Amino acid sequence: MAGKKPCVIGILTGGGDVPGLNPAIRAVTIRALREGYQVIGLRRGWGGLVDIIRDKDADNSNNYMILTEEVVNRAGRTGGTFLHTSRTNATRVKRESVPLHLRERYSEDVNDLTEEVLKNLDFLGIDYLVPIGGDDTLSYAVRLYQEGFKVVAIPKTMDNDVPGTDYCIGFSTCVTRTISLTNNLRTIGGSHERIMVLEVFGRYAGFTAMLPTMAGAANRCVIPEHKFSIDRLTELLVEDRNHNPSKYSIVLVSEGAKFEGGEMVFEGGATDAFGHAKLGGIGDLVSAELQQRSAEYNHGVTINIINQKLGYMVRGGDPDAVDSVVPMAFGNLALDLLLKGIHGRLVVLKNGRYDDMPLDVVTGPKKMVHVKEFYNTDRYRPNYESFEMKPLFIMTS
């Protein structure tokens, strides 16, 4: 019908930034515009939707923008997210974080602003929502879908631990960067004949430590799924070092790894909007313990340690090839579903094929490394056997 208002798609990115988000935004936008949709980019994840002021004369430029081919093409090859991001959980907004214009109505210590989010979506005229994020960001997408809003989601996280999909945007670049940075540090390890402890991402799942180790970047890795003995780890790393002509060895330590008899190591007591305390410090503790124990396994001679947290260095910069291609496919998959009138789905890669799953799969059991199949709990390294018919990234589910 002439003059009919086009359907409007809203896109947002939440949680940690990763390379591949901008290509995903570009893919959704280009396809949507060519199918006759209008596209609104929501800034700062769920934060932008919480902060909207429902007044046509209000300045909401900090909360959303109209997306065009020119805008997304300019950003589409770059890392990060030009829509910005936050860890806002609209079901648990602390009183001091409630927008000023809503504080009279919401004055509890913790407030559920879902009613406001739904009204804001209506105010913006958004018909469909495409959130891109990890299981925290997407768990709120499930809530909106349960409230009746039309959602198709795209999985993103360096940890590669969103349930239901073998692959999440950002994982390949993380592995690529980890291998590259570890190889750069070898010259230092060899020059000083040290043991290198590199802390990598991985709160609950050890994929980001396992894959680089399998690729030969490190001798050993310790992961969240299996508590490790520091004495056994010291013994192995000293042995690795002394058998290496350049006299160094390397261990990748997942940020969520735990000592035998211990728990995760946190930077402090503060938690984010999803209840997660900030991890940090396990690499420091492992380094200190390794140095203290090293002489016992090295004929009485202490071995010095190189301790480096790779952290943000693996999530910066442009996406690699996989994180340029997969987001394009995920974005088009999302549009295919919306064009068919299908929603409440998560686009996925499963057994090497693109597909989709019910959205609420993201609230199911955590996706973690299958220790018995993939991890040698005595040698603290991946199992290297029987790759036949395994998916591209081997241990993805």
Strand partners, 220: 251
For the chain, the domains span 8-169+319-363, 172-310+371-382
Name which residue leads in pLDDT, 329 or 264: 329
* 342-358 residues labelled b (16+ CB within 10 A) or e (exposed): ebbbbbbbbeeebebbe
pLDDT of 264 higher than 60: yes
Classify 8-169+319-363 by CATH class.
Answer: alpha beta
Look at strands 220-222 and 249-254 and give their pairing: parallel
| Contacts of residue 344, Cβ cutoff 8 Å, sequence gap at least 6 | 145, 150, 151, 152, 358, 359, 360
For 11, the 3-state DSSP assignment is: strand
What are the tokens at 139? 């768990």
The backbone torsions φ and ψ at residue 253, rounded to the nearest 5 degrees and listed phi first, read -115, 115
What are the tokens at 75? 């950003």
What are the tokens at 254? 């997942």
Per-residue confidence (pLDDT) for residue 63, from 0 to 100: 97
Alpha helices in the chain (DSSP H): 21-34, 46-51, 69-75, 114-124, 135-146, 171-192, 207-214, 230-243, 282-294, 322-339, 371-374
- Which tens digits make up the pLDDT trace of 278-334? 666 899 999 999 999 999 999 999 999 999 999 999 999 999 999 999 999 999 999
Per-residue confidence (pLDDT) for residue 77, from 0 to 100: 87
pLDDT of 12 higher than 60: yes
Q: To 10 degrees, the CA torsion angle through 209, 211, 216, 217?
A: -40
What are the tokens at 202? 């991985």
DSSP 265: -
Q: What percent of the chain has pLDDT over 70?
A: 94
Angle between helices 21-34 and 322-339 in degrees, nearest 10: 40
Q: Which of 243, 253, 332 is nearest to 33 (CA)?
A: 332
Instruction: Work out the pLDDT band at 391, boundaries 50, 70, 90.
Output: confident
Per-residue confidence (pLDDT) for residue 339, from 0 to 100: 93
List 159, 161, 323, 356, catalytic entry: 159
Per-residue confidence (pLDDT) for residue 174, from 0 to 100: 96
Please state the CATH superfamily assignment of the domain spanning residues 172-310+371-382 in this structure.
Answer: Phosphofructokinase domain (3.40.50.460)
Per-residue confidence (pLDDT) for residue 392, from 0 to 100: 84
pLDDT of 199 higher than 70: yes
For 378, the 3-state DSSP assignment is: coil
pLDDT of 141 higher than 80: yes
Average pLDDT over residues 238-247: 97
Assess whether 17 carries a catalytic annotation.
Answer: no
Strand partners, 345: 152, 358
Instruction: Work out the pLDDT band at 393, boundaries 50, 70, 90.
Output: confident
pLDDT of 275 higher than 80: no
Q: What distance in Å separates the CA atoms of residue 116 and residue 90, rounded to the nearest whole number?
A: 9
Strand partners, 271: 277
pLDDT of 79 higher than 80: yes
pLDDT of 273 higher than 70: no
* 89-120 residues labelled b (16+ CB within 10 A) or e (exposed): bbbbbeeebbbeebeeebeeeebebbebbbeb
Query: Are 83 and 63 within 8 A, CB to CB?
Result: no
Per-residue confidence (pLDDT) for residue 1, from 0 to 100: 40
Instruction: Work out the pLDDT band at 395, boundaries 50, 70, 90.
Output: confident
- Which tens digits make up the pLDDT trace of 32-69? 999 999 999 999 999 999 999 999 999 999 999 999 99
Q: 8-169+319-363 with 172-310+371-382: one CATH topology?
A: yes
pLDDT of 3 higher than 60: no
Q: What distance in Å separates the CA atoms of residue 36 and residue 201, rounded to the nearest whole number?
A: 40
Q: What is the model's pTM?
A: 0.93
The H-or-E segment that residue 375 falls in is: strand 375-376
Which one-letter amino acid corresponds to residue 125? G
- In the predicted model, what is the mean pLDDT of the chain? 93
